[in-house]
Amino acid sequence: MGLPASLVGLAGGIGLAWDAAIDPYIGHISDRARFRWGRRHAFMLVGALTMGIGFWASFAPPRGLSTTALFLWLLGTGFVARTAVSVFQVPYLALGAEMSRDYDERTSITALRGFLAVGGALAVGSLSFLLFFPNRTAGVDPKLHHAGYAAMGLVVGAVMTLLSLLVTLGTWRWRHAPAAADETAPLAPGRFFASFAECLHRSSFRALFASSTLFHLGISMSAALSIHFLTHYARVTDSPALGGFQVAFYVAGLAGIVFWLRVSRVMEKNVLYLLGTVATAAAMLAVFLLIGEGHALGTGNVRALVVGHALVGFFGSTLWFVPAALIADVVDEDELATGQRREGAFFGLYSFGQQLATGLALLLTGVLVERFAGLVPGQAAPSAQTVWRIGLLYGGVPAALILAAAATALPYRVGRREMAAIQLKLDQRRSSSSWGVLAAHPPDPPLAPRE
């Protein structure tokens, strides 16, 4: 619609900065809220009912808006959509950590959730090109078909709301899951920032938080440039081919989740996390070095790109379920040290890092693609230098950031052996607490038998 890339990046960056700011607070208050419908599910219901509307509106700006009006539309509708998603997603992630305290079982929970999420992404990523952006006219890029975006936003938004409500109702029996958080702790901002600092005091969480933030900074830069990369660097614009890349990526990801879940029974989860990050960085760097004009695999090589997408999906699938299981283990470590369970606070901070990194990536990418790469909006044939720099921003720079993410995660130390010791001590504490309650409030003696 002609909105400059820098303004697109600015709108996305502002929206994600807001998203990042509210995520920790939503997690904090969902730890302590006491609603009739449950401290998690009350938020999930509100988010589920509003996210689809915001998502549809963000893809349906009226034609003919000025640059300023178009920017404000993108900013405002993104604000609504991201707020709704945060209100649903943070309590939803926290709920997963409450459903089990077994080291392997909670990995299975996050893996199943990741499997279903990948299935949804596969459906949207592959079918969107075929259903909403089919090849209509030879030589005309189908992605420039304006009406396709509004139709996509309406359908996907409706599915988002429907499935989020299904998730909320499907987990309804866990709405009153017990918590060890201090119910009398105030919800004042001061207490929130104190809880924020206490969570970051855990060295394992700090390592995972920093690593995840760097990883999402790199992966979001790459994702934001994927269409530019495929169009100008790899020279692939055909809708069926673009849909094929998505299918290869997500189908391999589905297979990867099943495979790596079995591997997680014998391999530490933090090792799986490192494997996924390093493999993702290597694949992105290989695409930049092997694909493109004058490189070994050349341009228009659909087969090579399909294989590359499949490899990234297979190895990167560990990152779709392992981090949530690692955070659930940190929650137990924190409970042993503080006596409180703060699933919402930890997952809120984790989401904060993701959203902050994604917003910064959109902002940086919008500026760099315009100022560093020199891409002119609407230009059909960018210069060779612009094309090379797009490739560098898509593959080279994100690969370096993701390798840094792997290095940052090395201090994480909560493994299977540590979790067994933590669970043993927690069980002993709960048992002692139960005996203390009985000693303070002994049960009534049984009635004497009748003579």
Residues 130-140 have a mean pLDDT of 74
Higher pLDDT, 176 or 337: 337
Q: CB within 8 A of 415, min separation 6: which ones? A: 268, 269, 270
Confidence of residue 164 (pLDDT cuts 50, 70, 90): very high
Judged on CB neighbours under 10 Å (0-12, 13-18, 19+), 443 is exposed
Express each pLDDT in 173-219 by its tens digit: 887 765 544 444 445 555 667 777 888 888 999 999 999 999 999 99
Query: Which range, 124-138, 273-287, 332-346, has the best average confidence (pLDDT)?
Result: 273-287
Q: Quick check: 144 pLDDT over 60?
A: yes
What confidence score (pLDDT) does residue 116 get?
87
| Separation of alpha carbons 94 and 98, rounded Å | 7
What confidence score (pLDDT) does residue 442 get?
47
Residues 386-412 have a mean pLDDT of 93
What confidence score (pLDDT) does residue 71 get?
93
Q: Quick check: 438 pLDDT over 50?
A: no
Looking at domain 5-174+191-427, what is its CATH homologous superfamily? Answer: MFS general substrate transporter like domains (1.20.1250.20)
Across 172-181, 262-271, 412-421, least confident range: 172-181
Q: CB within 8 A of 235, min separation 6: which ones? A: 299, 300
What confidence score (pLDDT) does residue 447 get?
41
| Separation of alpha carbons 451 and 111, rounded Å | 61
Stated pTM of the model: 0.75
Residues 202-228 as b/e (b if ≥16 CB within 10 A, e otherwise) read bebbbbbbbbbbbbbbbbbbbbbbeeb
Instruction: Give percent helix, percent strand, percent coil of the chain, each to the nearest 5.
Output: 75, 0, 25
Cite the DSSP H helix spans in 291-342: 302-316, 322-338
Q: Map residue 358 onto helix, strand or coil.
A: helix
Task: Count Cβ atoms below 10 Å from residue 7 Cβ, excluding itself.
Answer: 17
Across 12-16, 261-265, 385-389, 438-442, least confident range: 438-442
Residues 145-165 have a mean pLDDT of 91
Q: Quick check: 260 pLDDT over 80?
A: yes
**Residue 298 bridge partners (DSSP):** 291
Confidence of residue 45 (pLDDT cuts 50, 70, 90): very high
Q: Quick check: 379 pLDDT over 70?
A: no
What confidence score (pLDDT) does residue 35 get?
78
Tell me which residue of 183, 167, 161 sits closest to 29, measured CA to CA. Answer: 183
For residues 44 and 168, is the Cβ–Cβ distance under 8 A? yes
- Please identify which residue in the block is written with the tokens 């409030």: 441
Q: Quick check: 262 pLDDT over 60?
A: yes
Q: Quick check: 86 pLDDT over 70?
A: yes
Residues 259-270 have a mean pLDDT of 91
Residues 118-133 have a mean pLDDT of 81
Q: Quick check: 441 pLDDT over 50?
A: no
Residues 428-447 have a mean pLDDT of 54
Higher pLDDT, 365 or 379: 365
For residues 320 and 253, is the Cβ–Cβ distance under 8 A? yes
What confidence score (pLDDT) does residue 190 get?
54
| Separation of alpha carbons 347 and 368, rounded Å | 31
Across 21-35, 167-181, 262-276, least confident range: 167-181
What confidence score (pLDDT) does residue 432 get?
72
Residues 240-253 as b/e (b if ≥16 CB within 10 A, e otherwise) read ebbbbbbbbbbbbb
Q: Map residue 291 onto helix, strand or coil.
A: strand
Q: Quick check: 396 pLDDT over 70?
A: yes
Q: Quick check: 440 pLDDT over 60?
A: no
% residues pLDDT > 90 (the chain): 29
